[in-house]
Amino acid sequence: MNIKEKIRILKIFRVIVQIIFFIFMPSLFSQAFAGVKEAVALIGKGENLILSDFVIKLLILCTVTIIFGRIFCGFVCSFGAVGDWFYMLSEFIQKKTGRKLPVIPSKWQVYLQKLKYIVLICVIGFCFLGKGEYVTKYSPWTVFSLITSRNFKLGAYITGVVLLLLIVVGMMLKERFFCQFLCPLGAVFSLLPKLPIFHVKKKGQQCFDRCSACTNRCPVHLKYDEADIRDGECISCGRCFVVCPHRIKKNK
């Protein structure tokens, strides 16, 4: 089985998993992040943490992330799935029309990935100060959650609608645009420790000279040379393991 076939099988598997979770648990992202907001708000009030449904879902996802890495981001999150589908649509349109959309330069991507931590800090600040309703009212993931629950009464969330539309445009320009640059829940998961067995690690002398197969396929632009520093950015999509020529050669 060649690399293209392996990538195609992985892609099909991911889409199937994403569709299943999109149908049955489309708001899991919003609910888990609501757990973050709720916990911070209680801390800001000086109250004890309550294990609500939102907080429990957050703790479960954090535990999964610690054990398996950001597999929620790579396979489960409906917001991330929609980003993948819009990017696939963008690739299809570009291929059929022969026109390329503007591309975000690689050297900017690492810096732009820091934006999600700023978003997280701002959200935490509002919730800590008891102003969490502003986050709910103006956030694009609130609008996304309403849409996926077939609630289209969005008149009170115009700012969130505009932001969501801008994010969709970004999703078509850059793979995993929201996940990389703006997702506050992704920022939380990236800061969690992970069991060593699931770390992205360079194979050292086993890697071929000047090989960049994994980097070229990585949706979050993670280089193996930087894996120890930026391992939290990995969304556990599995592409690097599929395209690694060392593994292919070893398995022949």
Name the residue with higher pLDDT: 42 or 240: 42
Rounded Cα–Cα distance for residues 21 and 27 (Å): 9
Calculate the average pLDDT of the chain.
87
Per-residue pLDDT band at 211 (split at 50, 70, 90): confident
Alpha helices in the chain (DSSP H): 3-24, 28-45, 53-68, 71, 78-97, 106-112, 115-128, 132-138, 140-148, 158-173, 177-181, 184-190, 213-217, 227-230, 239-243, 245-251
Task: Measure Cα distances from 107 to 103, 112, 221 in Å.
Answer: 11, 9, 10
**At residue 251, does pLDDT exceed 50?**
no
pLDDT > 70: percent of the chain: 88
Closest alpha carbon to 107 in 207, 223, 209, 217:
223
pLDDT of amino acid 244: 77
pLDDT of amino acid 250: 43
**At residue 51, does pLDDT exceed 60?**
yes
pLDDT of amino acid 240: 82
pLDDT of amino acid 108: 86
Give the residue-averaged pLDDT of 2-20.
90
pLDDT of amino acid 215: 78
DSSP of 15-72: HHHHHHHHHH-TTHHHHHHHHHHHHHHHHHHTPPP---HHHHHHHHHHHHHHHH-SHI
**At residue 44, does pLDDT exceed 70?**
yes
Report residue 147 as tokens.
Answer: 């849409």
Contacts of 224 (CB under 8 A, 6+ apart): 200, 201, 202, 203, 207, 214, 215, 240
Task: Measure Cα distances from 63 to 200, 245, 247 in Å.
Answer: 18, 32, 29
Give the residue-averaged pLDDT of 191-200.
73
**At residue 119, does pLDDT exceed 80?**
yes
Report residue 164 as tokens.
Answer: 């969501």
